[in-house]
Amino acid sequence: MSSIFKDDELVKAIEKVKVESPERRFRESIDLTIVFRGLDLKRDTSKRLSDKLELPHRFNPPKKICVIGSSGFAYKAKEAGADRIITPEELKELSKNKRLLKKLAKEYDHFVAQADLMPTIARILGPILGPRGKMPTPVPVAATNLNDIVEKMRKSVTLRMRNLPVLHVKVGSRDMDTKKIVENIKAIFDYLDRKYGGLRKYFDRAYLKTTMGPPVTIGEHE
């Protein structure tokens, strides 16, 4: 497990973020920024990130999930509480309107797809979702655990880092319990520690901030 920061350092940073940012008229997120060193992402593309990670705790506003599937799969997705279900016929119609495809990509956080439809989905949605790190998670048509999959997606964030060695990711909302935010942050650091075979050799610094607030460096609270 990553030992970059102790729990009390994260708690102090979160509390300082909330104090230094006045409350707004909308629900602000708590955002984490991690700056790396010694990562040449242009030369070593294996160090890039485009990964989904399930966090311990979901937060507001809820992640919006779009499921692409036919007949029985679509019915199970509806029962699982998916925010939108797109049938193959609807997907075919959407393929004629690039503006609507871009709107779809922007509106939904995660996509789940019936596995045998992936070749068609990749052809139609790949150019739109791929660059945004939102390619659908394929699920077998006979899957019986769509409830679990949709819930997992609601708790997941996308860790995306392409050419610049800086990661930005939401870890909670301002109205969320501090302990839960801490656990979400630790889950991200632990994942990165495993991903890079030891995070410390690449870690430079990390910040927290609310959506509209100033950044606070984790580990510096005076």
Name the stretches of the chain with pLDDT < 70: 1-3, 221-222
Q: Is the pTM of this model over 0.85?
A: yes
| H or E element that contains 88 | helix 88-94
Rounded to an integer, what distance in angstroms lies between the CA atom of residue 87 and that of residue 81?
16
The CATH architecture one would assign to domain 65-153 is: 3-Layer(aba) Sandwich (3.40)
The domain segmentation of the chain, as residue ranges, is: 7-60+155-217, 65-153
List pLDDT tens digits, range 139-174. 998 888 899 999 999 999 999 999 999 999 999 999
Amino acid at 90: E
Rounded to an integer, what distance in angstroms lies between the CA atom of residue 91 and that of residue 120?
9
Give the contacts of 174 (CB within 8 A, at least 6 positions apart): 18, 21, 23, 27, 28, 29, 30, 210
Write the CATH number of the domain with boundaries 7-60+155-217: 3.30.190.20
List pLDDT tens digits, range 27-45. 899 999 999 999 999 999 9
61: preceding bond cis by omega (within 30 degrees): yes
